[in-house]
Structure 1
Amino acid sequence: MMKEHFKDLLEYNLHFNQLLIQNFMENNLVWSEKSKSLLNHILNAHQIWNARILNQRTFEVWQINFDESLLKINSDNFNNTLEILNQKELTEIISYKNSIGKEFNNTIQEVLFHFLNHSTYHRGQIALLMKQGGLEPINTDYIFYKRDL
């Protein structure tokens, strides 16, 4: 049941990240550098958390990816998290080091909730920056996503 809930939230996350990436690609001359940085950060953080769980190489927290790679990174992040949901227990504890090398332990469930919440937070910041830049912000509220299904 909880895994299905996380799958639903991951689909929501994938959907609105895709819409933001498409908006960025169409309006990249209007998007601020801060918005571009935040968009990349959302994708990087998701990749980092997946990689920590799967013991893979991580991106840098604030790296700027090639614009053409953003949709693939978003899709790969989604697919890797689905793999985690299929192969691991949500209660499994992972040990990892943060970006400054300090070690922590958290359950996979806590990690999934964290990066989904983190993504929502930064999408809200991007919406504000889009509005300030004269663009129509994308309403990325979860309930609007569910209403449109």
Structure 2
Amino acid sequence: MKTITRMMDHLYWADGRILDALEECETPNKELLKLVRHVAVAERVWLSRLQNKGTAQYSLWEDAEDLTAIRTMFEENAEHYRAYIAGLEESELDEMIDYASQSGVPFRTSVRDILLQVLLHGQYHRGQINRALRIDSAAPVQVDYITFARL
């Protein structure tokens, strides 16, 4: 649990850093706003699945204009993930969760693998955002785990 908790702390930190970088852009690229919103919604979808709740109300790929609303979503996600993980026992990491994809396909995945998906999915997209920032002549932000670990 200690490793997953630490990695989730990195996720919250990295989400905040990437949002800060997007806020510093004078005119943030609409595709980047859509992508960062996707990360926030995907975190929420996976948490809903872990909590055995439906996810049909979530749309993973919508245009976004309001970075403040996205930041609020990330903050709420962090709060809910912290509470979920605080109540999780090590033995529960291997419990299987039944859920349906957003297109309705049924799946069965362990809690551990779902949490790892959340962690890796966000890191993948933060890398895409940083690359786009660099292409747009904006400064990318350091979101590597080791940077977080050195704090």
TM superposition score normalised by structure 1: 0.89
Kindly indicate whether residue 28 of structure 2 is the aligned counterpart of residue 26 of structure 1. Answer: no
Aligned residue pairs total 145
* Aligned residue identity for 1:131: R
Deviation of the 1:57 alpha carbon: 4.7
Extract unaligned runs of 5+ from structure 2: none
* Separation in 1, partners of 2:87, 2:96: 14
Contact 1:94 1:108 in 2 (8 A): yes
Single out whichever of 47-56 and 64-73 deviates more from structure 2. Answer: 64-73
Kindly indicate whether residue 106 of structure 2 is the aligned counterpart of residue 103 of structure 1. Answer: yes
Contact 2:52 2:99 in 1 (8 A): no
Extract unaligned runs of 5+ from structure 1: none
Question: Which of residues 1, 11, 14 is equivalent to 1:13?
Answer: 11
* Separation in 2, partners of 1:56, 1:28: 38
The alignment-based identity, stated in percent, is: 22
Deviation of the 1:64 alpha carbon: 4.1
Deviation of the 1:28 alpha carbon: 5.1
Kindly indicate whether residue 64 of structure 2 is the aligned counterpart of residue 67 of structure 1. Answer: no
Deviation of the 1:62 alpha carbon: 1.3
* Separation in 1, partners of 2:26, 2:61: 18
Deviation of the 1:137 alpha carbon: 0.3
* Separation in 2, partners of 1:28, 1:70: 17
For CA contacts below 8 A with separation 6 or more, give which structure has more relative contact order. 2
Contact 1:44 1:63 in 2 (8 A): no
